[in-house]
């Protein structure tokens, strides 16, 4: 069977609800402010899946395999918009030692929208016919899920934070991000598009995603590449929003002046700059962080912009950037070692790169935060959700536990 791909993108009449075309059981979607790309139905023409135990880094293996796949592709794309032409959805593990797979999926049909323009892309192998375009499907009935403490209990989490603070005091590391998990289930046959839609509409400024059972709404861009311009947004330093405008003002002022949070943020910014420099020609970051306001919390944020070096792609950049100090810690090797010892679970793809790439190396990649992994079983669908907080000198175990509760809220509310 030929592996040469034939790709055709055509502009279509405006589509209001991209998600209506997705597979209810296994949606494949990437959305922000109503724009984005969605796989039509469940058909895929190619899959790059990297299991644990490989010698090279998973991102390197995926980047090489993607390059081989695209080099002979026949692409007819008169639009040239973000998400048109040959694209693949991806989700990579946080830790190279994870037992989960890293994956890149090429759907047979993609429907997309960007700034008022809509399109349909068909992707097939050169020796097969074009796939039938499925009609939009009515959303299934409402459902509710239940989640509770997973492998890491609230008390266990505070104990892990104390363990991290001891390592920081001993000089082993400056910062480590510790997560905890919630586990539960939702009814078999649930229409998972409902969860994606709830996250996308409730948190429009985040990246709402669904890739291979990983569903969430991330506020944190890992890296974006479009026409060789590289942009990234660094988030580190968090505080919950208040119940009214006055409390909001107090909370934001506290975050903006918090030495602990500003130090944590600066670690993350410097980590990103150091990782991007070898892959870019020009690189700059804003001098001071700004406050990013989300429906439930404030983040300290810094935007980074540069120009991609020749021969590089967004997959090369996520390999260089991940894991950032914002989701691992500083120095990275010591932080990863501490996470493996202090977290009693495998993160899987939580806090790993999630997004899409095209044949030119353009793409949008976020860090998989505010998310859960859904795994279909015989009687129900298992759910594991994750949330973390950055631990630095001066962190308080109880406050860090409360921060994870705030970060769990978008997903827990949507599940309910």
Which residues carry out catalysis? 175, 220
Provide the 10 A C-beta neighbour count for residue 159: 14
How does DSSP assign 301-347, residue by residue?
Answer: EEEEEEEEPTT--HHHHHHHHPSPTTTSEESHHHHHHHHHHH-SS--
Retrieve residue 194's tokens.
């409902």
CA distance 101 to 412: 25
CA distance 13 to 402: 46
Cα→Cα distances 241→248, 300, 403, 408, Å: 5, 13, 11, 14
Where b means 16+ CB within 10 Å and e means fewer, 227-259 reads ebebebbbbbbbbbbeeeeeeeeebbeebbebe
In this structure, what DSSP letter does residue 286 have? Answer: -
Q: Are 202 and 364 in contact (CB under 8 A)?
A: no
Residue 55, SS3? Answer: coil
CA distance 369 to 388: 9
Cis omega (within 30 of 0) on the bond before 323?
Answer: yes
């Amino acid at each position: 069977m030929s592996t040469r791909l034939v790709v055709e993108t055509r502009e279509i009449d405006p589509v209001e609800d991209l998600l209506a075309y997705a597979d209810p059981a296994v949606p494949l979607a990437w959305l922000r402010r109503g724009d984005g790309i969605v796989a039509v139905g469940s058909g895929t023409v190619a899959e790059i899946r990297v299991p644990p135990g490989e010698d090279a880094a998973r991102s390197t293996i995926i980047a090489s395999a993607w390059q081989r796949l695209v080099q002979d592709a026949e692409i007819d794309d008169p639009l040239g918009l973000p998400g048109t032409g040959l694209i693949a959805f991806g989700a990579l593990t946080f830790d190279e030692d994870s037992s989960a797979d890293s994956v890149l999926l090429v759907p047979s049909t993609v429907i997309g929208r960007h700034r008022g323009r809509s399109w349909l892309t068909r992707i097939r192998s050169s020796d097969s016919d074009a796939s039938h375009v499925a009609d939009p499907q009515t959303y299934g009935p409402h459902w509710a899920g239940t989640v509770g403490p997973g492998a890491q209990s609230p008390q266990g989490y505070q104990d892990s934070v104390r363990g991290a603070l001891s390592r920081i005091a001993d000089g082993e590391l400056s910062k480590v991000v510790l997560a905890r998990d919630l586990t539960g289930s939702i009814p078999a046959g649930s229409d998972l598009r409902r969860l994606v839609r709830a996250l996308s509409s409730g948190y429009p400024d985040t990246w709402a995603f669904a890739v291979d059972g990983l569903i969430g709404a991330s506020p944190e861009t890992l890296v974006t590449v479009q026409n060789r311009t590289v942009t990234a947004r660094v988030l580190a330093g968090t505080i919950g929003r208040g119940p009214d405008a006055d409390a909001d003002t107090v909370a934001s002022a506290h975050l903006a002046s918090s030495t602990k949070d500003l130090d944590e943020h600066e670690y993350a910014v410097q980590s990103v700059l150091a990782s991007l420099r070898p892959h870019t020609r020009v690189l700059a970051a804003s001098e001071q962080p700004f406050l990013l306001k989300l429906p439930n919390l404030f983040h300290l944020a810094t935007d980074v912009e540069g120009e991609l070096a020749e021969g590089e792609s967004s997959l090369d950049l996520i390999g260089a950037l991940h894991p950032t100090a914002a989701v691992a810690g500083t120095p990275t090797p010591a932080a990863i070692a501490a996470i493996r010892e202090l977290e009693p679970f495998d993160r899987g793809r939580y806090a790993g790169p999630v997004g899409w790439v095209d044949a030119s190396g353009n793409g949008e990649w976020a860090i998989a935060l505010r998310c859960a992994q859904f795994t279909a079983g015989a009687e129900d669908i298992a759910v594991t959700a994750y949330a973390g907080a950055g631990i630095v000198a001066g962190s308080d175990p109880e406050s860090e536990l409360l921060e994870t509760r705030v970060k769990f809220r978008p997903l827990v509310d949507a599940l309910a």
